Amino acid sequence: MIDVRFWGVRGSIPTPGPATVEIGGNTSCVEVRAGGRLLIFDGGTGLRNLGSALMQQLPIEAWIFFSHVHWDHIQGFPFFTPAFVRGNTFHLHGGRKVSGTLESALAGQMENPSFPVHLTEMGAHMTFNDLYEGEVMEIPAATGGGSVVITNARGNHPDGVLAYRVDYNGKSIMYATDTEHYAVIDPKLKKLAAGCDLLIYDSQYTPEEYIGEHGGQPKLGWGHSTFVEAVKLAKAADVKQLVLYHHDPGQDDAAVREKERRARELFPSCQAAYEGLTLSV
């Protein structure tokens, strides 16, 4: 079994306030548990709340996978309390040549005058790993035997992005955020998603927002997709369940639910991500 919990589901910038209470306003962060191992995907502002929960489970060993290092995906890391605690271990992974090294990106946002505590002053043991596209990782399971297998593929986003797939004991999930669709279904993502039990996919825009019919200028080339393209990928890859993710900061709760309603008309086994959503496959 693979368990998934969403701690941050927004894109671009946090959106606190009364209009986003239901869906949540924190940026990207997803917790995955498989084979007794803790995997974390992205370190947006949702990582802070995950860190608070993890403080009840010390000591912690976790594998953190960053899709890329744009600010909305790393800005929670300086506030990730377990990273300041000696005895904890974090294995951090990001794409090689995706906006420089992962370590330099995380350290950069914690340098003076942006932040008072430098990365090197955090107490936990950390290793930094820059992944090649297509690289396969195996983490021996702590319970249940076997290994948790993580594979990746490159998506379509300014400065680069990696999508990740997790396989364990015959079950699979895929995390693909900050990727823009092409005129045809992205063959790399289709291959990575093939037969997945759960696909978490960038659905930042409605089709109308994407072409500029609603919300001002067109979003072509901005590196994000729509719920319609999410459905196309899910169908082409024979995915069992789809989660719409990385909601635009301009979409309030009602807009996200309307996006969800429209997507379900095309793919019934679909829902919009919200903070606190838990799923098991």
pLDDT at 15 over 60: yes
237-241: average pLDDT? 98
Range of the domain at 98: 2-280
Domain count, the chain: 1
Model confidence at 43, in pLDDT bands (50, 70, 90)? very high
- Across the beta sheet with 89-95, the strand order is 125-131, 89-95, 61-65, 37-41, 29-34, 2-8, 278-280
Q: Tokens in use for 84?
A: 């300041």
> pTM of the entire structure?
0.96
Which range is least confidently modeled, 104-118, 159-173, 220-234?
Answer: 104-118
Model confidence at 28, in pLDDT bands (50, 70, 90)? very high
Q: Which residues lie across from 10 on neighbouring strands?
A: 27, 247
Strands 278-280 and 89-95: unpaired
Q: Is 108 helix (H, G, I), strand (E, B) or coil?
A: helix
Contact (Cβ atoms closer than 8 angstroms) between residue 214 and residue 250: no
Share of the chain above pLDDT 90, in %: 88
118-137: average pLDDT? 93
pLDDT at 30 over 70: yes
Contact (Cβ atoms closer than 8 angstroms) between residue 166 and residue 149: yes
83-97: average pLDDT? 92
Q: Averaging pLDDT over each range in 22-26, 118-122, 210-214, which range is the top one? A: 22-26
Q: Which residues lie across from 153 on neighbouring strands?
A: 163
Identify the H or E element spanning 106: helix 102-108
Tell which wins on pLDDT, 152 or 114: 152
Q: What is the CATH number of the domain that holds 184?
A: 3.60.15.10
180-204: average pLDDT? 97
Q: How many CA atoms lie within 13 A of 240 on its CB side?
A: 10
Contact (Cβ atoms closer than 8 angstroms) between residue 80 and residue 51: yes
164-175: average pLDDT? 98
228-256: average pLDDT? 98
Q: Is 100 helix (H, G, I), strand (E, B) or coil?
A: coil
Which range is least confidently modeled, 89-103, 151-165, 243-257?
Answer: 89-103
pLDDT, residue 100, reads 59
